[in-house]
A and B are shown apart, each in its own frame.
Chain A
Amino acid sequence: MSRHRKVALVGNPNAGKSALFNALTGARQKIANYPGVTVERKAGRMVLPNGEPVELVDLPGSYGLDPTSPDEEVTSQVVLGEFPGEQAPDVIVLVIDASNLEQHLVFAQEIIALGKPVVVALNMLDLAERDGLALDPPALQEALGVPVVPTVAVRRRGLDDLAAAIASVETLEYSPRPKLTLTERRVEAQAIAQGTILSETRTRRLHSRLDTVLLHPWLGPVILFALLFVIFQAVFAWATPFADALEGAIAGVSVFVQDVMPSGLVRDFITEGVLAGVGSVVVFLPQIVILFFFILVMEASGYMARAAFLMDRMMQSVGLSGRSFIPLLSSFACAIPGIMATRSIADPRDRLTTILIAPLMTCSARLPVYAVIIAAFIPNRTVGGGIGLQGLVLFGLYVAGILGAMIVALFLRRSLTSGAASGFIMEMPKYQLPRPGDLLIGLWQRAWIFLRRAGTIIFVVTVVLWLLLSFPKAGPGENQVDASIAGQLANGLAVVVEPIGFNRDMALSLIPAMAAREVAVSSLATTYAVEAETEDAEAVALGDQLRARWTLPMALAFLAWFVFAPQCMSTIAVTRRETNGWKWPAFMLLYLFGLAYIFAGITYWSATALGL
């Protein structure tokens, strides 16, 4: 079988490459890393009009072939055919923002000068028209000497023409262009842009009107924080009906299994182990989907860059830049993509600091823990103005993580990662309405990652815990959990965490939660399910179990623990990979467990002193 030809999407950041890639490949995408570096490789298959299948690769956005970041280095090496193990592209699709010709043609000329088969996708033509620009694509084709296809990726316009151009590009004649310096290319870019623009009405553009409000010195930060607050309220309120439905379905299956299966070890394994454990984590899927929905909308609409602008001054005061804001905000969903997103930070000390504080951002895996504890211990009432107390406590936990991260960053930048202040140079993309299809692909990928975790790591850990909890079998009159291997192990750990108010069950849940934080919930559920069975009681909801066994100071201490504790092996693993060694992940583990212990203790003692 002959290899498929490779087509690479190349262009400036914010040229709409990802939307074009999604439109051309649909959901048939493979996301991996380039070997040896931590830059994401997005590849997919598309079929040309002549029936030829080709491999389409979306290269990281770049301003030139002289790299200024690891991302740009990959683009440059792949385009030049210098990346080890990566076949050079046969055809380059140069993606250019139609309303930004002067800027994007600078890099475009550099690519065209390489003499490879190039097709230009003159993208986001609709936004250019909205800005009052009338363009002449044939004139651009004439000036560049390569085929130019007008496209609107988000509306799937021009895709067939683009595919046809890719299929036929090899037969075209090329006149290699002379190598130009950056300044010469910019002068040339301006001339070509002027020749392409038929007319330009200087209307006050939509995005500058939006920026006037969203980047307003006072209003901007207020809007940003209001938005973040709404997100966290929504995560709690909107998800409830879906979570209740899922919970009901799992309980239904559990009852069904109880009815149809003979009682015994296998039935216990399914109801107490699999359904109680994995089921208690899966019910948080709605919340995770809602959180990712907001993050994806902020990214796709162009608002994320504005948030970075607004946050830059604040980040600067702890020695970071607005660029760290995006990885840190992603870490609210999950620290793993957050830590991987730090590769866009050019300064190595800046990057290391951001990696080390990323786990302090409240990731979605903490949500199940927070949600269960809050629902069980914080009364569901409003504190006035339609603000729920539960949502407020959740917001407070997020703020605690952020403040912790800021203080840690300040210390790190003055000690372990000290050095020159970093810069902040960032292009602000135009505002766009996110395309529902792209959002759906993004949400599906995140939900799938979560469910796969629930199906693999969490499943295995839950099952192992169930085994440890169920054996050896307790004698008559003896508590099953006390008799089990897990109970014995937890008794040892309980001595360590007793001063900060944790009981044996809490200590027990911390052990398997090293794999992933949300396992704490499933292990509590499994523990109480096993115990309930031997006590011959009806298995009651986890919340009721917790209320019966924990005090409020204990619950608050448990929440404080999870604000800081690095209970996620995947995060440690990705930190090792991104920092090339065990030194920094070890440091991360130590300092986070230290903080968790101290703050859980402070919370417990002060809550007890206040008589809560």
Chain B
Amino acid sequence: MTLDDINPGQAARIMAVDWSRLVSEEALRLRALGIDVGAQIRVAHRGVFGGRDPLAIEIGRTTVAVRRAHAEAVEVEQL
């Protein structure tokens, strides 16, 4: 299951991240924002058009917007 499969309002834990699917600057930015293995996250909002892109992810007390392309690289376990 990837982060992209999570619906708004649901929480999940990050199990693995396929960094090779991401541009290195983006990978670094995601890690700096705390999106990394072990982190507990919650999908707060999703857009409406085109497969509900982008996603607003709550991590700790921060909310971060990412795209489905990023979410697909993040393996999660639903909580």
Contact = CB atoms under 8 A, between A and B. Distances in A.
A423 B23 contact: yes
A186 B64 contact: no
A251 to B, nearest CB: 51
A335 B51 CA distance: 33
Interface string A98-131: 0110110011000000000000000000000001
A102 B26 CA distance: 20
Interface string B16-33: 000000110110111111
Nearest to A347: B23
Given A215-B45, A218-B48, A322-B54, A426 B65 contact: yes
B67 A424 contact: yes
A346 B26 CA distance: 9
Nearest to A420: B23
A428 B63 contact: yes
Given A313-B47, A317-B50, A421-B69, A68 B61 contact: no
Residues of A in contact with B, size category? 35 or more
B7 to A, nearest CB: 12
A373 B46 CA distance: 42
Contacts, number: 115
B17 to A, nearest CB: 12
A310 B25 contact: no
Contacts of A207: 63
Contact of B60 (A103, A217, A424): A103
Contacts of B61: 99-100, 102-103, 131
Contacts of A221: 48
A316 interface: yes
Contact of A423 (B45, B49, B62, B70): B70
B32 A215 contact: no
A424 B66 contact: yes
B36 interface: yes
Given A182-B31, A186-B34, A217-B47, A425 B26 contact: yes
B12 interface: no
6 closest pairs, A vs B, by CB?
A217-B48, A63-B32, A428-B63, A68-B25, A215-B45, A102-B60
28 contacts: A64-B28, A68-B25, A106-B34, A107-B32, A186-B34, A186-B36, A211-B56, A211-B63, A215-B45, A310-B47, A312-B65, A313-B48, A313-B50, A316-B50, A316-B67, A423-B22, A425-B26, A425-B33, A425-B64, A425-B65, A425-B70, A426-B64, A426-B65, A427-B33, A427-B64, A427-B65, A428-B64, A428-B65
